[in-house]
């Protein structure tokens, strides 16, 4: 698969969210798949974990440790519905911020 450059806009299937605190600030991460992913038929975090037993634990471990010990805390995963709400809020905030 071709890597996607940071800041790119691409189509993706949203399946959930990993809720994080980064230095006590909310820093949620949407979990998605590109259309050419072998996991494109996965519709939820639960299905992802069934397809690849333990993958959510690996994702969570990586995200809470990539900046070093104790800087990021996990508040667990959210489902597709919760992820869509967070995405809508972020999109609305972005659009409203750039109106002026």
The string of pLDDT tens digits covering residues 41-84 is 899 999 999 999 999 999 999 999 999 888 899 999 999 999 99
For the entire predicted model, the pTM comes to 0.84
Phi and psi dihedrals of 88, rounded to 5? Answer: -65, -45
pLDDT grade for 94, boundaries at 50, 70 and 90: confident
């Amino acid at each position: 698969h071709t890597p996607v450059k940071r800041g790119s806009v691409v189509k993706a299937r949203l399946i959930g969210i990993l809720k994080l605190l980064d230095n006590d600030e909310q820093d949620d991460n949407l979990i998605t798949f590109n259309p050419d992913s072998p996991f494109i038929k996965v519709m939820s975090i639960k299905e992802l974990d069934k397809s690849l037993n333990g993958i959510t634990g690996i994702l969570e471990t990586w995200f809470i440790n990539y900046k070093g010990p104790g800087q990021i805390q996990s508040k667990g995963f959210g489902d597709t519905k919760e992820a869509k709400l967070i995405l809508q809020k972020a999109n609305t905030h972005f659009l409203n911020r750039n109106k002026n």
